[in-house]
Structure 1
Amino acid sequence: MNTDDTLLLSQPALFTISQMPDLNFKHISNLTDKTGIIQHALFAMPNRKEGYCIDDNARALLFAVWACKNNKRDQITHDLLLVYLSFIHYMQSEDGYFRNFLSYTMTATEDRGSEDSFGRTMMALGYLINEGPSHLLTRTAHGIFTKAYPHVNKLTSLRGIANTIVGISQIIKYQYPDDRKRNMVINLADKMVAMYKHSKSSDWHWFEPILTYDNAMLPLALLNAFEVTQQDEFLTIAFESMAFLESKVFYDTFRPIGNLGWHKQGGPIATFDQQGIDAMAMVLFYQQAFRLTGEQLYLARMYKCYQWFLGDNDMGLSLYDFSTGGCADGLHTEGINLNQGAESTLAYWISHLVVASTLSA
């Protein structure tokens, strides 16, 4: 990141809701059936051969919570929320863990999903409990969350831990004070701090020796941990690690770490393929940073990352499809991936709702 880029990102951006696309959840509705949201698409058509996953249904639940909050009279998103929550309930095993993948023929392909999918599910449930549109939905989500909670302290995956911290932090806000859950947040955040200190060197300020996907979720988790514990070390490492990430992804445009090689310590930074979940994670981080500090520079950076979806990127191409309401699966060397899967479409709409709510606050 050069001096001009630093200057650009330190100033508030002139950005208004009028510059954002109108709400259009048509593609999300098309991807969703009575079971859940189908994870992949063949262009704009649901690809039923690929079935469902709890990762995307958790993201879809988070989307629906915020869409309902944005428009309390929107029956469509309320109905979608019920579908996604029901899917998560169905995928929870008796032991409290979650299965991740489900075929279109209703066959679960594993006994237990990844820790990453567990964390994303706990995060979405936490937001539903804290910000959900009805008491009955809150109670349902709380029951699922409580059944899974005994496994939280066993987590070892960075992203599983990070997403779970965000989810538990939402629960604490809902039923403040909650010293037991606050202590759990401290335990989990301490795990992240230990990983950070183990990996950190003079020129590498990150939690592991590689930058991969969903990177901003890691400092975001520590911002959430700071908010509910007021432990300064969490705040310090959150901003220190984010400054390092910013030095790797901000150029003339926002450039997420490419998944064709990622960025290993001491190695080159992969430019492509860029994915929407990375832009979404940045948007979520900057929203939280602005909430905690009130500093306008975080708004500028949030807008910059959001506009990546709309064409402020290396290719100058909009990944968001105004005609369908879907979002391309990634930005490649030859252009955009024309498939509009659940992950990318939800990444766009979650980012959209976060930015819109911040502008209207």
Structure 2
Amino acid sequence: MTTFTSDYRHLIRLSDDTGLFEHARHAVVRRHHGYCTDDVARGLVVVSREPRPSRRLIRLSECYLTFLTHAQDDSGAFRNRLGFDRRWRDHPGLGDWWGRAMWGLGTAAARDASPWIREEALSAFAAGAGRRSSHLRAMAFAGLGAAEVLRAAPDSAVAAALLTDAAEAVGMSAEDPSWPWPQPHLTYANAALAEVLIAAGDLSGDRHLLDRGLRLLTWLCGVQTRDGRFSVVPTAGWRRDGPRDRYDQQPIEVAALADACAAAALATGDPSWLDEVRRAAGWFYGANDANALMWDPVTGGGYDGLTGHGPNLNQGAESTIALISTMQHARTLP
């Protein structure tokens, strides 16, 4: 089987000099859907993680950073949707796209290979770090960006305050060991909630908080594993004591698990978490409920979802970035 390494072909195909297109029909960009801050921020995360980026990837970092700073207003909020005509379709807000933007900016500020990108990203991060969202996942995503900043600049008070508030937003674990999740349902990017607790506990030295995040992640991995493979909660979600659909599974769920398990391995030094990262990579290689390869070796794109009939062959930005992100972790495994 063809091995995925650092394949950015499709991400480059989805990008132009403005940003990153959201959707594709198979591998063909659907320009009429335009761009969104959510996906541009995800793109900035993965390209900033590359320790030795090519000239093309450096150009993507520059493009994505420019998009995010254009989307940000003076209050630190962000617009989300830009049409192909370069007109914004919405007003600045603090939804999930704000959290994603803060995650992208925090990652670029801490890890990007270009010093000027790190500096500009940190400035934009600081401009948004004083805001707070009423949306739980927005706070979790922003907290992960704050954690990136703190790993590079431990004395950043604004990042520390944002990470603390993000962890508090997750809330307390339920008392029922069969459902310790702090909410009565699982929706999307669930592992990000556990990851922000792990990051906050690790960086603050709060062992109780770290252990709580690890317990939630252990449970989340367990309930999403079937026959040794990841079988993640589908787009319909899963409510406690309710029925759970098997499909349509999304790559973002697998990528969120890979991110969180890699963070757990870093925080604890426990190599068993790396087995979960391998399980996540395996999902893309066909170790899933449909025994289906979840990426296209010809284009380098990630398939948009796993249905009961096999992969959704469209290769949009979110799924392609989920693939790249997971394989970034997998390639560092011993």
Shorter chain as denominator, the TM-score bin is over 0.9
SS in 2 for 1:81: helix
> How far, CA to CA, are the matches of 2:110 and 2:6 in structure 1?
24
Whether 1:175 aligns to 2:150 is no
**Any stretches of 5+ residues in structure 2 without a counterpart?**
none
**Any stretches of 5+ residues in structure 1 without a counterpart?**
1-17
> How far, CA to CA, are the matches of 2:134 and 2:267 in structure 1?
28
- CA shift, 1:94, in A, is 2.4
Structure with greater helix percent:
1
Aligned counterpart for 1:257 among listed residues 221, 226, 233? 233
Corresponding residue number in structure 2 for 1:243: 218
Given that 2:106 and 2:148 are in contact with CA atoms closer than 8 Å, whether structure 1 keeps it comes out as yes
Higher mean C-alpha displacement, 338-347 vs 155-164: 155-164
Given that 1:287 and 1:358 are in contact with CA atoms closer than 8 Å, whether structure 2 keeps it comes out as no
After TM superposition, the structure 1 = structure 2 runs for residues 87-102 of structure 1, keeping only pairs within 5 Å, are: 87-102=67-82
Corresponding residue number in structure 1 for 2:88: 108
Aligned counterpart for 1:333 among listed residues 298, 308, 322? 308
- CA shift, 1:178, in A, is 3.3
Given that 1:92 and 1:99 are in contact with CA atoms closer than 8 Å, whether structure 2 keeps it comes out as yes
Corresponding residue number in structure 2 for 1:287: 262
> How far, CA to CA, are the matches of 2:12 and 2:6 in structure 1?
13
1:213-256 alpha-carbon deviations (Å, 9 max, x no partner): 10111101111101211112211211221122123200112101
Corresponding residue number in structure 2 for 1:212: 187
Whether 1:159 aligns to 2:137 is yes
SS in 2 for 1:336: strand
Name the amino acid aligned to 1:44.
A
Whether 1:54 aligns to 2:37 is yes
Corresponding residue number in structure 2 for 1:15: none
Corresponding residue number in structure 1 for 2:14: 31
Q: Compared with structure 1, are the counterparts of its residues 325 and 233 closer, same or farther at alpha carbon in structure 2 (3 Å cutoff)?
A: same
Corresponding residue number in structure 2 for 1:63: 46
SS in 2 for 1:308: helix
> How far, CA to CA, are the matches of 1:111 and 1:150 in structure 2?
19
TM normalised by structure 1 equals 0.88
Name the amino acid aligned to 1:191.
A
1:264-290 alpha-carbon deviations (Å, 9 max, x no partner): 011122211001111101111111111
> How far, CA to CA, are the matches of 2:189 and 2:175 in structure 1?
19
Given that 2:2 and 2:297 are in contact with CA atoms closer than 8 Å, whether structure 1 keeps it comes out as no
SS in 2 for 1:105: coil
Corresponding residue number in structure 2 for 1:276: 251
Pairs aligned (count)? 333
RMSD of aligned C-alpha atoms?
Answer: 1.7
Q: Which has the higher contact order (CA 8 A, sep 6+)?
A: 1
SS in 2 for 1:165: helix
Given that 2:6 and 2:328 are in contact with CA atoms closer than 8 Å, whether structure 1 keeps it comes out as no
> How far, CA to CA, are the matches of 1:228 and 1:23 in structure 2?
29
SS in 2 for 1:108: coil
Whether 1:21 aligns to 2:4 is yes
> How far, CA to CA, are the matches of 1:143 and 1:247 in structure 2?
40
Q: Percent identical across equivalent pairs?
A: 27
> How far, CA to CA, are the matches of 1:242 and 1:26 in structure 2?
32
> How far, CA to CA, are the matches of 1:304 and 1:188 in structure 2?
28
Aligned counterpart for 1:138 among listed residues 118, 124, 149? 118
Name the amino acid aligned to 2:199.
N
Name the amino acid aligned to 1:226.
G
Whether 1:75 aligns to 2:55 is yes
> How far, CA to CA, are the matches of 1:213 and 1:273 in structure 2?
12
Aligned counterpart for 2:169 among listed residues 181, 191, 208? 191
Q: Compared with structure 1, are the counterparts of its residues 77 and 311 closer, same or farther at alpha carbon in structure 2 (3 Å cutoff)?
A: same
> How far, CA to CA, are the matches of 1:236 and 1:109 in structure 2?
42
Q: Compared with structure 1, are the counterparts of its residues 180 and 322 closer, same or farther at alpha carbon in structure 2 (3 Å cutoff)?
A: closer
Aligned counterpart for 1:342 among listed residues 303, 317, 320? 317
> How far, CA to CA, are the matches of 2:56 and 2:290 in structure 1?
34
> How far, CA to CA, are the matches of 1:139 and 1:52 in structure 2?
25
1:50-84 alpha-carbon deviations (Å, 9 max, x no partner): 100000000000111123x1x24x11111111111
1:171-218 alpha-carbon deviations (Å, 9 max, x no partner): 1222222355434422331232xx334x55353211211111101111
> How far, CA to CA, are the matches of 1:344 and 1:284 in structure 2?
15
